[in-house]
Amino acid sequence: MPFVKRSQTGEIVAVSAERDDSHPDEVASDDAGLRGFVQAMSSTPGLADSDLQLVRVLEDLIDLLVDKSVIRFTDLPPQAQEKLSARHSARLSMRALDLLSTDGGQVI
C-alpha cells in the first residue's frame, strides 16, 4: 500500500512506498485521490498526443517490416499480435465508415 502526504485541504501532494514522517497516511492502491494524483503527475501537456501519434508510427513500421519480410507477424508475442490485429480491424472499420479521412480525402 502506498503512503501519502496531504495538503491542508486533504489533497494528495506526495506519494511514497514507505511510511515516514512526511508520508503518514496509508491509502488503497485504487484510491480515487491517488489515481488523480498519479494521472496529474504523468500527464505532460502535449506528450499524450505525441504518444498517440507514435503508436500509429509504430503500427506502420511493424506493417512495413512484415511487408518487406524483415520480420514475420508471428514473430511478435501473442499479446502484441492480438492488439495489433484488433487495432487493424478497428482502423478498417473506421475507414469503411470514412471517419478517418483527412482534408485531402486520403485516409490516415
pLDDT tens figures, 61-78: 999 999 999 999 999 999
| Same domain (yes/no): 20, 55 | no
The pLDDT score that the predictor gives to residue 108 is 47
Q: Residue 61: name the closest of 52, 70, 50, 74 by CA.
A: 70
| Same domain (yes/no): 51, 81 | yes
The pLDDT score that the predictor gives to residue 29 is 84
Give the count of domains, the chain: 2
DSSP 83: H
User: Is residue 102 one of the residues assigned to a domain?
Assistant: no
**Which portions of the chain are predicted below pLDDT 70?**
43-48, 97-108
Q: Which residue range forms the structural domain that includes residue 26?
A: 3-42
| Same domain (yes/no): 37, 72 | no
| Backbone torsions φ then ψ of 57, nearest 5 degrees | -60, -45
The answer to whether the predicted template modeling score (pTM) of the entire model surpasses 0.85 is no
- Number of other CB atoms surrounding residue 5 within 10 Å: 16
User: Is residue 20 one of the residues assigned to a domain?
Assistant: yes
User: Is residue 108 one of the residues assigned to a domain?
Assistant: no
The pLDDT score that the predictor gives to residue 102 is 54
| Backbone torsions φ then ψ of 6, nearest 5 degrees | -115, 150
The pLDDT score that the predictor gives to residue 36 is 86
